[in-house]
Amino acid sequence: MKYKYEVTKRPEGKFLSGRNANECFDKKICPFCRKGLTVFKKDLVCLEEGCLAIFSPPIEKKLINFISTFENYKNEKSGRKANTVRLNLPDWKKEKLAEATHIKIRKGYTKEFFIRKITDKTYWEGIYIISWDSGEK
Ligand SMILES: [Zn+2]
């Protein structure tokens, strides 16, 4: 189920469910407490005491894919090593990197992967260092 807004701040223990949430967003009603939502910049904000939920439009993720060794993957996924170093990227990959907002790291040639938000792209003497937020997905 794809929601028209993502929960930026949720009241404790509450979660969105089903199509219902999207209907609420259309009607500017808080899906948690059913009170009216206030539009603030691009967000929808619930000003109801005890709720104070904030909803934001989903960010479009532009992914760049990399494959890691099993050993690196473990540390990269856990956040102990929240970066990857790459040499000699082909031109098409450099272009992808320039636009990428998120990185997808695959565990070798398996189907296992994780996605993280890129926080920094550093180019240094022919080496690309791509860092990401280990908490934010
Ligand atoms: Zn609310």
Domains within the chain, CATH numbers bracketed: 6-56 (no CATH), 63-132 (2.30.130.30)
Give the 3-state secondary structure of residue 22: helix
| Stretch 36-48: mean pLDDT | 96
CA of 59 to the centre of ligand 1 (A): 22
pTM of the model: 0.62
d(CA 43, CA 119): 23
Q: Quick: pLDDT tens for 56-105.
A: 998 888 999 999 999 999 999 999 999 999 998 999 999 999 999 999 99
CA of 132 to the centre of ligand 1 (A): 32
Q: Are 26 and 39 in contact (CB under 8 A)?
A: no
Check pLDDT > 90 for residue 49.
yes
CA of 116 to the centre of ligand 1 (A): 29
CA of 36 to the centre of ligand 1 (A): 8
CA of 52 to the centre of ligand 1 (A): 6
